[in-house]
Structures are given as structure tokens and as C-alpha cells.
Amino acid sequence: MIQIPPTFTGFLNFIRNNVGVPVDAISDDDETLRCVYEAALEWVPRDLGLECLPVIYRNTVYNLGTSFLLRYADDTPPSTYFADMREKLGIGRAAAGIMTSAADQGTSGSTVIGESMSNLSLADLMMMQDPYGEAALAVLMEMGSHWGMTP
């Protein structure tokens, strides 16, 4: 099996070429990049089988690192890239969960959602605010209760 482990250089390539984060928004040597990459490595579990799917494992790390980057990176003036992306994606707005039913005196309605969706943590809801976090969460949720989800 070909091993394609995540690397910091690969993460930089991902955010520049796949995500489109410009160099004037954050330089390659900014410690925030290393921090979000390392945080993603810590967050995505090892030794539970995901590393046996090397492309999926690597892309999950890169997507999660990108989600962290969009949420936490400071702009390098005069760039407003990260502030603009947070505004565009709604990152940082309160996310209390998914409504399943509503009613008043004369009417009511409900939506059935999967049990795994009703058990989302605040961190999970935060990841769902951008497409990179969603992609990572989709893979992590497949790992079931080993990762922390209770489906």
C-alpha cells in the first residue's frame, strides 16, 4: 500500500492551491499555520483504522486544519481575507443545534433527524460552519463512538 501521510508542506500546498488562501493573507512561516496543522493532527485519531485509508486520512487532516485556520487566523494588514471568509461562511455566529419540532396552539410540525445529528457537540457544530470542517466531520462521524460520536 502506498503511504501518503499528511505533511506540513502538503498542508501548505492544500491551502494555497485547493483552498486559495493567498500569501498576502498569511505567510508560509506564520506560526498559526503550524499550529492549526498540528491541532488537526492531534484531533484526527490515529490507530483506529483511518490511517489505513491514507488519502482519506491525509485529506481529513488538511480539511480540519483549514477549518481551524479559517476560524482562528488573524489577518495580516492590509489583507482582510480571513475576516471576509468568516463573514461569508457565517463562522463565529452562534450555532445552538438543529431544531426538530415547533408548535403553537393550532399547528405543529417536526423533522426527523438521525440520532448522530442530535448528538452533535459544540465543536461539531462549529466544524459544520465551513465546507472544510464539514468534510472532516463527515469522515470522523463514520468512525462512530470511537471518535466521540454516539450514533
Per mean pLDDT, which range of 6-10, 15-19, 92-96, 124-128 is the poorest? 92-96
Q: Quick one: cell of 89?
A: 461562511
Q: Which residue has the cell 480571513?
A: 82
Q: What share of the chain is helix, strand, coil (3-state, %, to 5)?
A: 55, 5, 40
First to last CA, the chain: 31
**Per-residue pLDDT band at 52 (split at 50, 70, 90):** confident
Q: What is the pLDDT of residues 110-128, one digit of tens each?
A: 665 555 555 666 666 677 7
CB of 108 closer than 8 Å to CB of 102: yes
pLDDT of residue 6: 94
Q: How far apart are CA 67 and CA 126, in angstroms?
A: 9
| CB atoms inside a 10 Å sphere around CB 48 | 12
Say if residue 66 is exposed, middle or buried (CB neighbours under 10 Å; 0-12, 13-18, 19+): buried
